[in-house]
Amino acid sequence: MNASTRTAAQPAAQVPHIIKGQLHSGADVAFTGPGGVPFTAPALDLANLTWSRQEEGPAFNTPIGEIIDLLVATGECLATDPDGLLEEAYARMLAVSPLERGVLKRAYDDLPRLFDRTVLNFVVEGEIGGTDVLDGWREVRLPTGRTARFRAFPARLVQILAGNAPGVAGISVIRGALSKGVNLLKLPSNDLFTATAVLRAMAAVDPTHPVVKSFSAVYWRGGDAKVERLLFSPQFFDKLVAWGGEAALRSAKDYIGPGFELVAFDPKTSISMIGVEAFASEEITAEVAALAATDATGYNQSACTSSRYQYVEGSLEQIDHYCELLQAELGVERHTASVIGTPVPPDLREEIEALRSLAPEFRVWGDFTGRGLVVRSEEPVDFYPDGKIVNVVPVPSLREAVGFANVATQTVGVYPPTRKRELRNHLASAGAQRVVSLGQAMAESAGLPHDGFMPLHRMVRWVNDED
C-alpha cells in the first residue's frame, strides 16, 4: 500500500474514521488500495488515538450484562439496517474486496448472527470462566491458608484487522467490547468499511454508552514507522492483537517488548484426511468430494480454515476418480464460495503445466479460470495452493499422513468422523490446533480455542490481589 495522488479517471472512495465513538470524515490523505483502487482518509491526530493511563477506560467498570445487552442490540440494528450502514459498507467494499459479489453479500448477511446473546454468554463462560472475574475480583483460598483475589482486568488494545472476510471486524469488536478495554482498530486495505459500519451501528443504539467511547477505527499504511513507533508502545497500550500475513506480523513483532504483548492470529494452512471408507460406494465418494470441496473453498480459499492439501487412503484408481469429482465440486457455488474464484496467476500456471508432463507421478484436473484445479502428487507440491487449488496426496494410512501436519496446521477435516479419535492426539502432538469432521471447517464456534488459545483470555490482563 503506497500513498498516491487522487486520479481524475477513478474517483477516490472516502474512508471514514471512528475516534472514541465519534464519526470523522475527510479526504486529507490519499492512498492506493488493492488492484490500484484509490481511496482517501482523514489525517491522523495520533494524540487523539490513545487513552490516558492516569484514568480508567470508559467501560472498565461497566457490568458485563450491560455490555452484552448493547452487543445484542447492535446485532439487531445490523440485521434491520435502518440507516443503511451495512448496505453502504457492502457497496463500497465491492471496489476493494477480493470476494465475489454474492459471497460478500452473504458474508454481510451473516454479520448480525455473531451478536447472538446465547453465543456471547458462551464466549464469556468458555473463554474467561464466568462474568464475576470481568465485573470484579474473584476471591480464592490458597493452600497456605492465605486469601487472594484476581480479576480479568480490561486491557488497552491495538487490533490489526485482516480483510479476508467481514466477520473478522465483527468478531474483533465483540471481543474488544467483552474484554471492557479500550480498542484502537487498524483497518485493513481490503476491508476499509466493515468495522466502522459495526461501530456506527453500535453508536446508533446508544451514542453515550461507555463501550462506544472505548473504540477507535482508523487507517494508516501498514508498516508506517511514524505511526507505529508511537502507538505500538507500552506507554499507551498493553497488547497488540494482530491478524494477517507473515509480512504484517513480522513488522508488528519489531515493537514487542516488556509491557507490550503480541496476541497473534498467525497465517495458517488447513488440510483434509480422508480414509478408505470414502470409497465404499459411488454415492459416498461423491458425498465426500462435496464435503471436501466445501472445506477447500471457504471465501474462495482465502480463509485459514480452507483445506489446501488432502491426504487420501485408497488405490490410485480410486483416488484419481475422487480427484475428478473433487475438481467438479470446486466449481459449485456455496455459501462462502463463488463458481469462479481468482484466476491462477501466470507463474503458478507455468509450474502446474510442467507437472502435467510428469504423469503418472503427477496428474492435473481442471484449468486456470478459477473454477477449481486439483493436482495429485506423491508428495505435497512445493508451491502454495491458492485460489481454489487443491493438492491431493495418496497415503498408505491416515496415521502416516499425520507426519504432514505441523505447528502451522490450523484445521484438519477428517472422514469418516469416527476416525478423529484415533488421530486427534497425534495431530495435536504434531502441532495441529483444530480437528473437525470433513465439511465442517468453516463452522467455527465462538467460545472455543482459536489458533490454539482462548482469545478473550489473552485480551485481558490477569491481576492479583494477595493477602
Average the pLDDT over 321-336 and give the result.
97
The confidence score (pLDDT) of residue 6 equals 36
CATH architecture of 2-266+451-466: 3-Layer(aba) Sandwich (3.40)
DSSP 68-101: HHHHHHHHHHHHH-TT-HHHHHHHHHTTT-SS-H
Q: Name the strands in the sheet holding 13-14, side by side, starting at the edge strand that comes first in the sequence.
A: 2-3, 29-32, 38-41, 13-14
Q: Give the model confidence (pLDDT) of 334-357 as tens digits.
A: 999 999 998 898 889 999 999 988
Q: What is the pLDDT of residue 246?
A: 67
Find cell 483460598 and name the residue. 141
Contact 412, 398 (CB under 8 A): no
pTM of the model: 0.93
**In Å, how far are 156, 270, 285, 332, 442 from 291, measured between CA atoms?**
41, 14, 10, 12, 11
Architecture of domain 269-437: 3-Layer(aba) Sandwich (3.40)
Res 158 pLDDT > 90: yes
Residue 4 binned pLDDT confidence (cut-offs 50, 70, 90): very low
Query: Under DSSP, is residue 393 helix (H, G, I), strand (E, B) or coil?
Result: strand
How long is the chain?
A: 467
9: confidence class by pLDDT, cuts 50, 70, 90:
low
| Residue 118 reports pLDDT greater than 50 | yes
In order of 65, 187, 247, 437, the CA distances from 218 in angstroms are 28, 6, 20, 39
Q: Does residue 300 come out as left (phi exceeding 0), alpha (psi in the -120 to 50 range) or beta?
A: left
Q: What is the pLDDT of residue 247?
A: 67
SS3 333: coil
pLDDT above 90: percentage of residues in the chain: 85
Contact 217, 168 (CB under 8 A): no
- pLDDT value of position 80: 98
Domain ranges of the chain: 2-266+451-466, 269-437
Segment 103-130 shows an average pLDDT of: 96
pLDDT of residue 3: 37
CB of 126 closer than 8 Å to CB of 144: no
Q: Is the pLDDT of residue 137 over 50?
A: yes
Average pLDDT, the chain: 93
